[in-house]
Amino acid sequence: MLLGRLGCMQHADSARTRRYTVVAHRDPVEVTLDIRRSEFIGMIRRVETEDEARAWIDEVRGVHHSATHVVPAFVLGPDRDVQRSSDDGEPAGTAGMPMLQALTNYRAVHAGEEYADLSDVCAIAVRYFGGVKLGAGGLVRAYSDTVVAALEQTPLVPRQRMLHVALQAPHGEVGRVENELRSAHFAVLGTDYAGPQATLTVGLDDADDALEQFNARLASITAGELEATPVGTQWQDIV
């Protein structure tokens, strides 16, 4: 199955995108809708590559080999720059595109904040035709509603690009420093006690001034004795 390439939807500052929304786990979510005698099975799953999305689509096709249509759509990447869909035999523009728009337009609320940047997600709508034709407008609504119904049952979380920094402290001091950082709501990722000094790794929001602000706070905690250095970046779910 070949999924058509669609236009990109990028953030205004794509080079500095630091947060987007993802499905909280990799287990598929499934809902069933009865729409004018046709059964629509909506599925949502977290995926991170095109190969992973296509493999799951093929798997669903194998399970539902007797279905009239198995319509997929998926969105990938922090900037949502990979978007694919297919109508799988439905009239052009009545199935895959509405599903893709349902994914890209969906708004999620997490910890009181609203997010409209869902990505790394694949939606599949399986249709078993029930004998009543829906017409173009009815198909658009049916496929879109199927995706939205599945999304409403899907747990979502923000995913954030974190700057990892490391600092070294004497073994006798590292516990106090770690407690101070945790109290200040910094994400302490781990402590390595090997070597003459302990190494503490901390995750920061990857903003331009994050390291400068962190080192300023660290200086106030340690009377200017410690300073952190960057060791890389990594995307992490915020749960």
Helix (H, G, I), strand (E, B) or coil at 217: helix
Q: Does 183 lie in the same domain as 144? A: no
- Tell me the Ramachandran region of residue 128: left when phi exceeds 0, alpha when psi lies from -120 to 50, beta otherwise: beta
pLDDT for residue 112: 75
> 98, 132, 154 — which closes off a domain?
154
Residue 89 maps to a domain: yes
Measured CA distances, 149 to 36, 44, 142, 144, 152 (Å): 16, 10, 10, 9, 5
pLDDT digits (tens, 9 = 90+) for 208-224: 899 999 999 999 989 99
User: Domain count of the chain?
Assistant: 2
Q: Which domain holds residue 146?
A: 14-154
Measured CA distances, 117 to 42, 109, 236 (Å): 20, 11, 16
Low-confidence ranges of the chain (pLDDT < 70): 1-16, 110-111
For residue 210, give every residue at least 6 positions away whose Cβ sits within 8 Å of its Cβ, in sequence order, or none.
163, 204
Q: Does 197 lie in the same domain as 118? A: no
pLDDT digits (tens, 9 = 90+) for 31-51: 999 999 999 999 999 999 999
Whichever domain contains 168, its CATH number is 3.30.70.240
Residue 9 maps to a domain: no
